[in-house]
Structure 1
Amino acid sequence: MSGEPRAGLTGWERALERFQRTLLGHVFPREPVELLDALRRECDSNVVRCSENRILAPNAYDIELDPEIHEELAGADGKVGMLLTDRLARHGERNGYEWAGPLAVHITRAESVPNGRYRVAGRVMPHVRADGFAPVTE
């Protein structure tokens, strides 16, 4: 998020989002906030407008981290991945996105990333059958 007001949010929602970003910045190191912004950008840039009322977003996101940052975030007991998935789900909900399947954020260690800290890539999870998500009837 770039700090500029986003369309569709009320003043209260923007204030709550600023509070949330500030809180995240104090609870976690700087990188998760940057990662969340990168996830949102990746999501927004890869949505597909299928119709006037349907916007499809990729559901699988891979975050590759520099080894030092990966080690630092690993100390958060694996909660960073859950936190980022939750925040990305909220972002999608606010924007009316429909996920291409179950939303997942995978964090891995990488020896080489372009900006020296992380790389984020979104995609539609392969090998997911639509009937696998059909409601179970008994």
Structure 2
Amino acid sequence: MGALSALEESLENRWEALRARVLAKEPVELLDALRTECDRHAVVCAADRVMVPNAYDVELADAVHEELAPHRCRVGQALTDSLVRHAERQGYQWAGPLAVHLTRSADVPNGRYRVTSRVMPHVSAEGFRRA
């Protein structure tokens, strides 16, 4: 094994340990919070069309955000993938391209995270009409 491969493996192991420590504490709770936020803001537009917000913010406590900062993209992608699977099971349609953002917040009420959602501003009301 070359020096670069050993370094890559070491970094990957550190990332997995960090991810497990931060997200595995309450992974079901965080994923449930994302799903609940999605479900709570679902809008029935027609019998076969249920629209949901396409932008989700996961506000992290300062300490958690600091630890995840180098890996925000990977964590955000994992959360996005989980939300996509949930929407597929529910038959939801996104109001536009889906994005899950990890942000820092000094006033997260539970000291870990808070989840909010919205329709991205550039998405017009036309997205809610049947073509």
TM-score exceeds 0.5: yes
How much does 1:129 deviate? 5.1
Residue 69 of structure 1 is matched in structure 2 by: 64
Per the TM alignment, residue 47 of structure 1 is displaced from its structure 2 partner at its CA by 0.2
Residues 91-131 of structure 1 deviation map (CA, whole Å, 9 limit, x = unaligned): 00110000000000010111111222111101111123589
Partner secondary structure for residue 72 of structure 1? helix
Tell me whether 104-113 or 24-33 shows the greater mean CA deviation.
Answer: 24-33
1:74 deviates by 3.1
Counterpart residue type for residue 85 of structure 1: T
Contact 2:37 2:116 in 1 (8 A): yes
Relative distance call for 1:121 and 1:59 in structure 2 (3 A) is: same
| Partners of 2:25 and 2:69 in 1: CA distance | 14
Pick from 98, 117, 121: which aligns with 1:126? 121
Aligned length: 108
**What is the CA distance between 1:44 and its match in structure 2?**
0.5
Please state how far the C-alpha of 1:32 moved relative to its aligned partner.
Answer: 4.4
Superposition deviation, residue 76 in structure 1? 4.0
CA distance in 1, matches of 2:110, 2:22: 24
Which entry has the higher C-alpha Rg, 1 or 2? 2
Q: What are the within-5 Å matches in structure 2 for residues 1-138 of structure 1?
A: 28-74=23-69, 76=71, 78-128=73-123
Consecutive unaligned residues of structure 2, counting only runs of 5 or more, are: 1-18, 127-131
Alpha-carbon offset, residue 57 of structure 1: 0.5
Which protein has the bigger helix share? 2
Q: What does the per-residue CA deviation read over 1:29-77, in whole Å, with 9 as the maximum and x for residues that have no partner?
A: 3244432111001001110111111100000001110011112333546
Q: Indicate the percent of aligned positions where both proteins have the same amino acid.
A: 61
Question: What stretches of structure 1 of length at least 5 have no aligned partner?
Answer: 1-23, 132-138
> Which whole-Å CA distance do the structure 1 matches of 2:46 and 2:116 have between them?
24
TM-score (norm 1): 0.68
Tell whether the 8 Å contact from 1:32 to 1:80 is kept in structure 2 after alignment.
no
